Structure 1
Amino acid sequence: MKLLSSFRSLGQLLVIAGICFCSSKANAQRYILNMPEHDQKPYYFGITFGMNFSEYQIRYNQSFAETDTFKKIQPKWSPGFNLGLMANLRLNKRFDLRTVPSLSFAEKKLDYTDPQFSDAEIQKSIESIYIHLPLQVKFKSDRIKNFRFYAMAGGKFDYDLAANARSRRNDEFLKVKPVDLGYEIGFGFEFYNANFIFSPEIKLSQGLVNQLYNDRSLPLTNAIDQINTRMIVISLHLEG
């Protein structure tokens, strides 16, 4: 997919930029070890901000294939942004327990054609404001001077604050549930500076709860069995 290729390219650029930044700092300081006591802290905090790309994963029902009500229902990736806080608990040399409560502003788009009106493609979007509450286990590599690699995995709880506002609108074309549970996997890099750690991170967030609200008065609902959310998040963490 072109989008996933773009994510990989962006991730590579983040890594290269971070390594160059860290290398230049290290050369300028003759490889002074920054924040030497940080790795022994029992806990620490930080802030995070970044961008996300989200879409719906759709499983169509039998009527979609057998009738001409809709010729096409196609989800599309859409950008958004996120900001939040971080709390990190050290378990041992290799593992940390981490939570990153945040607000995620996301948009999911659907392209579809409805022959009852025209054969022209119609694009609709569902805007969401998620309270995002993850709990993650973080695996850390050895520290190499002022650099470290890590991987993370865990579960998440999401609540869509915009769900009630959407339900009051008269032009709603698809109803989705406000609560979601799922898992997250990702990786990142830690660059130790004099007073803080700069950490670019990429993660996949996959919802497991069927988000479709079964309102058969909406024609689009009759063509769908299941909707799940998927989001790719590119974040920058500043940790103290």
Structure 2
Amino acid sequence: MKKLFTIALLALCFQTAQAQIFSGERVLNQQNFDQQRWSWGYFLGFNSYDFNFDYINYNPSPVTGQDFRVETRVGFNVGLLGNLRLSNNLDLRLEPGVNFNTRGFQALKADANTYREISSTYVHIPLLLKFSTNRLNNFKPFVVGGVSTSINLSSNENNPDDNSAGQFRMTTNSYYYELGFGIDLYLYYFKLSPSIRGVFAINDELIRDADPNSLYTGNVDRMMSRAIFLNFTFQ
């Protein structure tokens, strides 16, 4: 169902953009929208989170070439948008939201069952700069970049149990940089902005086990999340 919904939205965006670029249409929707100093909206979207590992001593599995296997899944994003117009082609935006995601995690160098299912709920707060081209009919591409922080409500950071008791622990607070691109589509009643963005953690998120030789944490120097967001913003 999620895949069908995404495909349908992308098809609508493509058809609208194609009509604006190639049809020669000159009827402008939302003509004064971008003249507002402040504008507001909300977004819905999807995410896919992964882990990136740096090792103390890199000695991967001879079979897989990895120490760990991460199973990525599709999660859901929802949030609000506050946009400050700085100039005709530059905006500052705040996008506080909540991201829901589940990842599968497994240590490969063991005979025992090491699989963990990591469910995360993030309160995610990005501060972004949006660089736009000039508007072409009802169509305007843009790139976006900035920094963000998140609170992992499911981190287990203060849980005294670790992986020896089946608890995988992460830091509660994380920091990221973000880069992406999208399209503003000026529809009759509102502006729709589909965008895709890469999100990359810059701090170590792993809480170590009590055992310094832990299969899960002993050889890990840094563990950082990375994600792809596909959002549809309505203003």
Q: Secondary structure at the match of 1:177?
A: coil
**Alignment counterpart, residue 46 of structure 1, candidates 41, 45, 48:** 41
Identity %: 24
Quote the Cα distance in structure 2 between the aligned partners of 1:203 and 1:133: 14
Could you tell me how far 1:14 is from its partner in structure 2? 6.1
Q: Following TM superposition, by how much is the alpha carbon of 1:79 offset from its aligned partner in structure 2, in angstroms?
A: 1.6
- CA deviations 1:111-166 (Å, max 9, x no partner) are 3335353xxx7432211110101100000101011000010000001110112498
| 1:24-103 equivalences in 2 (<5 Å) | 31-62=26-57, 72-103=67-98
Matches for 1:12-27 after TM superposition, within 5 Å: 17-22=12-17
Q: Secondary structure at the match of 1:62?
A: coil
Q: Aligned partner of 2:177: which letter? A: Y
Alignment of 1:150 with 2:142, yes or no, is: yes
Paired with 2:103 and 2:198, the residues of 1 have a C-alpha distance of: 16
2:219 is matched with: 223
Judge which range, 129-138 or 73-82, deviates more: 73-82
Helix, strand or coil at the partner of 2:54: strand
Instruction: Verify the 8 A CA contact 2:82 2:93 in the aligned structure 1.
Output: yes
Alignment of 1:154-165 (within 5 A): 154-164=146-156
Cα distance change of structure 1 residues 60 and 23 upon mapping to structure 2, 3 Å threshold? closer
SS in 2 for 1:48: strand
1:155 maps to a residue whose letter is V
Structure 2 CA distance for partners of 1:62 and 1:150, relative to 1, 3 Å: same
Instruction: Tell me if structure 2 keeps the 8 A contact 1:41–1:90.
Output: yes
- Assess if the C-alpha contact under 8 Å between 2:116 and 2:166 holds in 1: no
1:204 aligns with 2:204: no
Between the two proteins, the alignment pairs up a number of residues equal to 222
User: Which residue of structure 2 lines up, in the alignment, with residue 133 of structure 1?
Assistant: 125
Code of the aligned partner of 1:61: I
Give secondary structure in 2 for the equivalent of 1:18: helix
- Structure 2 Cα separation of the partners of residues 144 and 115 of structure 1: 57
> Could you tell me how far 1:39 is from its partner in structure 2?
1.3
Query: What are the ranges of 5 or more consecutive residues in structure 1 without an aligned counterpart?
Result: 1-10
Measured after TM superposition, the shift of residue 198 of structure 1 is 0.8
Deviation at 1:86, TM superposition (A): 0.3
Instruction: Quote the residue 1:193 is aligned against.
Output: 187
Between structures 1 and 2, the one with greater helix share: 1
- Distance between the aligned counterparts of 1:84 and 1:22, measured in 2? 25
Q: Name the counterpart of 1:213.
A: 207
Describe the shift of the 1:93–1:83 C-alpha distance in structure 2 as closer, same or farther (beyond 3 A): same
Mapped partners of 1:148, 1:22: distance in 2: 9
Cα distance in 2 for partners of 1:79, 1:166 equals 27
Rounded to whole Å, the distance in 2 between the matches of 1:63 and 1:234 is 33
The answer to whether structure 1 residue 177 and structure 2 residue 140 are counterparts is: no
* C-alpha RMSD over aligned residues: 3.0
Secondary structure of the structure 1 residue equivalent to 2:217: helix
The change in CA–CA distance for 1:193 and 1:116 in structure 2 (over 3 A counts) is closer
* Alpha-carbon distance change, 216 to 64 in structure 1, aligned in 2, over 3 angstroms: farther
Bigger mean CA offset, 36-45 vs 157-166: 157-166
Partner SS, residue 216 of structure 2? helix
- Answer with 167-176 or 128-137: which moved more: 167-176
CA offsets 1:166-214 (integer angstroms, 9 cap, x no match):
8377743432111101100000001101221011100000000101112
Classify the secondary structure of the residue corresponding to 1:227.
strand
In structure 2, C-alpha distance between the alignment counterparts of 1:93 and 1:42, rounded to whole Å: 11
Residue 32 of structure 1: CA displacement? 1.4
TM-score w.r.t. the length of structure 1 is 0.81
